[in-house]
C-alpha cells in the first residue's frame, strides 16, 4: 500500500451529487458534485474534488479545518463581520474551525479540498 495519493483534477468516476439543505440555501439553485478520493483516520481526514454551480449558501465549518485550491471558476467568501474575498483558478485558502459566513459561487467552481476534523 502506498502512502502517496495523487488527486486527479478531472476524475472519470461518477461523483456524488447533492443540493444545499434549505437551512443553507440563500439564493439560486446551486448543485454540488463531489469526487471523494481519499479518507484517513476513520474519516477524520478527507480529500478529493468538489464542484458547485452558481448560487449563494451559508458556510459553517464547525470543528472542520478545510484547505481549498481552486482549479476553475470564481467564488466570493464573506466571513461574518469581514469584507468579501474573491478566489479564482490558481488561488488557495483555508477555512479554519469556527468559520461562519457565506459562499457565493459566481462562476461554476471546481476545487481540490482537504478536510480535517
Which residues, in sequence order, are CB contacts of 23 under 8 Å at separation 6+?
Answer: 58
Alpha-carbon gap, residue 31 to 52, rounded angstroms: 6
Task: For the chain, give every domain's residue range.
Answer: 43-116
Residue 65 has a pLDDT of 97
CA torsion 58→78→97→21, rounded to 10°? 10
Class of domain 43-116: mainly beta
Model pTM?
0.93
pLDDT, tens digit (0-9, with 9 covering 90-100), for 64-101: 999 999 999 999 999 999 999 999 999 999 999 999 99
DSSP-derived 3-state class of residue 57: strand
Amino acid at each position: 500500500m502506498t502512502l502517496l495519493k495523487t488527486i486527479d483534477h478531472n476524475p472519470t468516476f461518477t461523483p456524488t451529487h447533492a443540493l444545499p439543505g434549505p437551512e443553507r440555501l440563500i439564493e439560486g439553485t446551486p448543485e454540488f458534485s463531489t469526487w471523494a478520493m481519499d479518507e484517513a483516520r476513520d474519516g477524520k481526514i478527507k480529500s478529493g474534488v468538489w464542484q458547485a454551480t452558481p448560487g449563494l449558501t451559508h458556510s459553517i465549518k464547525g470543528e472542520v479545518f478545510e484547505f481549498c485550491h481552486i482549479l476553475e471558476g470564481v467564488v466570493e467568501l464573506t466571513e461574518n463581520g469581514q469584507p468579501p474575498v474573491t478566489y479564482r483558478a490558481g488561488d488557495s485558502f483555508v477555512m479554519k474551525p469556527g468559520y461562519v459566513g457565506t459562499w457565493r459561487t459566481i462562476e461554476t467552481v471546481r476545487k481540490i479540498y482537504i478536510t480535517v476534523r
